[in-house]
Chains A and B, each alone.
Chain A
């Protein structure tokens, strides 16, 4: 049996960071990735809709059936539901969007990189619902610094206590529609700042700056947006300490008689052969829910689950339809490259943080985003009434004036009733039990969404926009792809699975990185916080190893 110092399961944002941090500290690391190793520089390129057989929509019915939530551009780096099913109760749908590929979802993420504040970490102390995180902003701030310095985040300081500033590369400028929305925000006293994105605005750690093609979520062709393959993996591999095992589907964390992790069992994706490897420390970083699934499958009742809370407190942030329409001042404007940075204007949360006199009808908060301009294919055109030459001219005239406001993320309350378990019957292609997901919205989630919808219209009106599409509906949980929780952190081993370093209370040499540890969703994008917690956990792991304490 091959033996390593550390076995890392997964190669996304957190697995990649852990791999780099631990390999650079001299550990012999093996990374197990369930998907393939692709060469992003070769695989990703600018692709025009008309270059694809089905103009981006895929063969009719195909993506809807097997690759839900993906497009013809990117489905090959998404998961195939035939091989990787999951189940839900019939009346409780959950959208679980996954990737199995080296780099995981970093290859096509939205790159939004926000810091949580103590308004997020200590929300329970303010309103009495749920639990505080076992860390405060001061604990994690140095790790935010470290991650931002490495991955490169283009942003502008906003000087808002609920949205802490960080170590920033120059922000990307706003386009015309975003400038108008920013002026509207000033008028109605909404805070706003360019969306903070892990996209380079200058050469950075041997990576070129963004060239504003707008192709980000289909994979960056030059590595100007952060992903594992171009960013954390090269320096990790350079150490000579890393063994990369792709197409390796992990089924179990192995333990010894003293309740210590001793290694990993995985299945070779194509040969179905079972293989065991030994490791002094096991790090799970295969996404929030895959980590939990693996713990549940490793031992009856779940490994590291003396608390019984493993699988509970599943969350996705609240999302739903936004408001779209046109900004009349931009009608007939000269066409510009408006969607090239694929960013927008960000409106950080301003509810329930003491800056508004009138208390909201719900607890916690949400953030909005706004953008507009000539956005590739004119999505508004099919529902624009009419036909003929006049219709064509109206589409052309409205094209640069299209605008939309959307819900970046609202806090979904952490509730025990939302949970995952192993499905007793269904197994994946490799015989591993799949997750059965139970998740619904609560009244607070719905009231929060309703408030967003009113505010979004208020912003649109302040920008003198003409609203053409405003039909409120709450999205299926999971749709925002910010699924977190199920392996929460806490100071009390009776009510949490992990300590604040993402180390399991029960098994000292087992760490779980990713969103699973989240105590609340907050209203920010989650990835930067997952990475900062990974960096902090790795420091702890290294420190303990040097002291011979692990």
Chain B
């Protein structure tokens, strides 16, 4: 048995409803602030407008003025070039716009206290790239080396001495990029963490049969 009228389930909540709800919620602690955001959400029709305007706040950290704390200048430049090959700036922003290298430096520096082995891994990885003179290679040569390092990823019968380095850097760069505002909001257009009056139900007939 359902409580109340199930017919209300799919009805879009209008701003007038939201006003009624605000009156109902007068006694709810924190209610006023919440409903102010909620009524903003109510202006968007979630069914007609899937691409609801993002309410994502700006990144509170000032990565532009970040100075490397863990990596040396050379290591930092190598990592920055490597990151930009993995997630390039093309028709959408890439690792550079997301300040991926700065974030990685910050995290690896902070590993000193509870995970010093993480610092060792990064030192070795960047050391290996320095041995390959990664910093002085041309852009095409750099991409070609990354390609060779990555070969075991597609075909595990292949081996490459740089695969561990590639794996370490890729895992972290991908994490850093898609957890940044640039990666998550600008590139992936993630729509969550919003204030919605109704959950956008699937209304596509083709998804209701297989």
Binding site for B on A (CB under 8 A): 41-42, 46, 48-51, 53-57, 59-62, 64-65, 149, 157, 165, 167-176, 178-180, 182-184, 187, 201-203, 206-215, 221-223, 329, 334-341, 374, 376-378, 381-382, 385-389, 391-392, 395-396, 399, 462-464
Contacts and interface: CB of A to CB of B under 8 A. Distances in A.
Contact of A208 (B28, B150, B175, B200): B28
Interface in B106-121: 106-108, 110-111, 113-115, 118
B178 A378 contact: yes
A374 B191 contact: yes
B53 to A, nearest CB: 12
Interface string B26-66: 01111100110010010000100011100011011100000
A420 to B, nearest CB: 29
A213 to B, nearest CB: 5
Given A50-B181, A60-B107, A170 B2 contact: yes
A120 B201 CA distance: 33
Given A50-B180, A208-B38, A222-B30, 11 more contacts: A48-B56, A55-B103, A55-B180, A56-B179, A175-B200, A211-B197, A334-B51, A338-B192, A378-B188, A381-B174, A392-B88
A511 B185 CA distance: 51
A215 B193 contact: yes
Contacts of A338: 191-192
B195 A187 contact: no
Contacts of B59: 50-51
B204 A168 contact: no
Contacts of B24: 203
Given A173-B199, A183-B207, A374 B8 contact: no
Contacts of A202: 4, 8
- Where chain B touches its partner, the secondary structure class is loop
Contacts of A46: 193
Given A56-B179, A170-B6, A388-B86, A180 B207 contact: yes
Given A50-B181, A55-B176, A387-B170, A203 B21 contact: yes
B201 A174 contact: yes
B114 A386 contact: no
Contact of A340 (B50, B90, B192): B192
A337 B53 CA distance: 11
A178 B179 CA distance: 25
Contacts of A180: 207, 210
B153 interface: yes
Contacts of B189: 335
A337 B192 contact: yes
B145 interface: no
B206 interface: yes
A169 B2 contact: yes
A212 B21 CA distance: 16
Contacts of B199: 172-173, 175, 210, 212, 337, 340-341
Which of B94, B107, B192, B194 has the most A CB atoms < 10 Å from its CB? B192
Contact of A335 (B9, B113, B190, B193): B190
B210 A187 contact: yes
A389 B200 CA distance: 31
B146 interface: yes
A506 to B, nearest CB: 40
B129 interface: no
B157 interface: no
Nearest to B1: A167
B140 interface: no
14 contacts: A49-B184, A50-B180, A51-B57, A173-B10, A175-B201, A176-B207, A208-B35, A213-B193, A213-B195, A222-B30, A337-B52, A389-B88, A392-B90, A395-B178
Q: Which interface residue of B27, B197, B210 has the most chain A CB atoms within 10 A?
A: B210
Contacts of B138: none
A180 B208 CA distance: 6
Among A48, A149, A381, A464, chain B packs the most CB atoms within 10 A around the CB of: A48
Quick one: which of B50, B146, B201 has the most chain A CB within 10 A? B201
Contacts of B179: 49-50, 55-56, 377
A463 B6 contact: no
Nearest to B153: A385
A374 B92 contact: no
A126 B84 CA distance: 62
A405 B199 CA distance: 21
A338 B201 CA distance: 9
Contact of A169 (B4, B34, B90): B4
B38 A211 contact: yes
